[in-house]
Amino acid sequence: MPARERYPHLPKAVEYAHIGWDFFILTLVVINLSLLLFDSLFLLGPINQGIAGIAPDFHAFYDDTIHSRFIAIDLVFVSFFIADVLLGWSIAIAERRYHRWFFYPFVHWYDVLGCIPLAGFRLLRILRVVSLLHRLHRLGLIDVTRWDIYLFFAKYYDILLEELSDRIALKLLGNVQQQIRASDSLTERVIDRVIMPRKAQLIHEIAQRLESTIGKAYQHNRQSIMAAISDLVSRTLRESPEIQRFNRLPMGQQATSAMEASLSGVAQRLVDELLLGIHSDEFKELVERTADSGFDTWLTVDEGSNRVTEQMLYDILEMLKEQVNRQRWKDRYD
């Protein structure tokens, strides 16, 4: 049977027919429970005598007509409840309301158990009010989310659910911390099972990020870099003793200026070519070879690095526990 929406959009007439039938069954439930309660009280001696003294005709009628046939009358109600379950199951199959045809008795377990002719199980039929309210809310006839009783139960349900989930999360994180403390080779296993199988992808990612970072930084700071190169060449020439002696010669300063401009131009073009060449395939291969040659050395594990890695993981989990342990529902409901 193909899967469909759990609550398919039905015609309004069908929805109202469902609502009418739900009200009919609820009326039978109320009448049945009222009869069960009254008949139980009727069996008590003081109440029985009180009814006989106050309304003898009613007492005789109830005793002869209803009380003596109460089991048969109760079975009539039970037959209606069984028919309701079978009819609802058939309609659910016809409407393809659930993913599988046999889901209905599990979803409507309260209706199934309510067919058992015992007062304790019969009370479960009252839960049909919940499905009725849900249907009315879905049709827009009522808005239960604005009811005070709904807000009350929703608030404490939210608090209970958050507290339970937090306790479970704290327990799980604590167990993970114990496993980290008890493990002697966690770092080695992380490297062997997580990092090494992805070695090629990681190296390629390192090369791409390096290319992107250097390229963007150079484009944004090119003028500053060129100015720094010119200042460096100029300061180097000024501080050089040989250049200072050369400046004392005729036309020495002009020659020094020309040399400074030429050296600055060469240095700037060299840096330009070098940094613009990072987008070439040769540069990518160079970076990948360099990263590959140092990858295994970088991943070499000793006792110190193993202890540091485990402590980092432990502290991260401890921070998560502190975050989970914070009762955020107090912020929402203060």
Q: Is residue 159 part of a domain?
A: no
Last residue of a domain, which of 81, 115, 144? 144
Q: Is residue 334 part of a domain?
A: no
Q: Which has the closest alpha carbon to 15: 135, 154, 102? A: 135
Identify whether residues 34 and 110 lie together within a single domain. yes
Per-residue pLDDT of the chain (334 residues; tens, 9 = 90+): 333 444 456 677 887 888 888 888 888 888 988 888 898 888 888 888 898 889 888 989 988 889 888 889 988 998 998 998 999 899 889 888 888 888 988 988 888 888 887 767 777 877 777 777 877 887 777 888 888 888 888 888 888 998 899 889 888 888 888 877 776 666 777 777 877 788 788 877 777 777 777 777 777 777 887 788 778 777 776 667 766 666 666 666 676 677 767 777 777 777 777 766 666 677 777 777 777 776 766 666 666 666 777 788 888 888 888 888 887 777 777 6
Q: Is residue 330 part of a domain?
A: no
Identify whether residues 130 and 67 lie together within a single domain. yes
Identify whether residues 196 and 140 lie together within a single domain. no
Residue reference for tokens 């030429």? 262
Identify whether residues 71 and 140 lie together within a single domain. yes
Identify whether residues 108 and 213 lie together within a single domain. no
Identify whether residues 42 and 119 lie together within a single domain. yes
Q: Is residue 134 part of a domain?
A: yes
Identify whether residues 18 and 137 lie together within a single domain. yes
Q: Is residue 221 part of a domain?
A: yes
Instruction: Say how many domains are in the chain.
Output: 2
Rounded CA-CA distance 25/79 in Å is: 12
> Residue 4: what pLDDT?
41
> Residue 8: what pLDDT?
53
> Residue 3: what pLDDT?
37
| Three-state SS annotation for the chain | CCCCCCCCCCCHHHHHHHHHHHHHHHHHHHHHHHHHHHHHHHCCHHHHHHHHHHCHHHHHHHHHHHHHHHHHHHHHHHHHHHHHHHHHHHHHHHHCCCCCHHHHHHHCHHHHHHCCCCHHHHHHHHHHHHHHHHHHHHCCCCCHHHCHHHHHHHHHHHHHHHHHHHHHHHHHHHHHHHHHHHCCCHHHHHHHHHHHHHHHHHHHHHHHHHHHHHHHHHHHHHHHHHHHHHHHHHHHHHHCHHHHHHHCCCCHHHHHHHHHHHHHHHHHHHHHHHHHHHHCHHHHHHHHHHHHHHHHHHCCCCHHHHHHHHHHHHHHHHHHHHHHHCCCHHHHHC
Q: Is residue 229 part of a domain?
A: yes
Last residue of a domain, which of 111, 128, 144? 144
Identify whether residues 119 and 207 lie together within a single domain. no
Q: Is residue 307 part of a domain?
A: no
**Which residue range is the domain that position 219 belongs to?**
192-301
Identify whether residues 137 and 206 lie together within a single domain. no
Identify whether residues 105 and 17 lie together within a single domain. yes
> Residue 296: what pLDDT?
67
Q: Is residue 325 part of a domain?
A: no
Tokens of 136: 């009315």
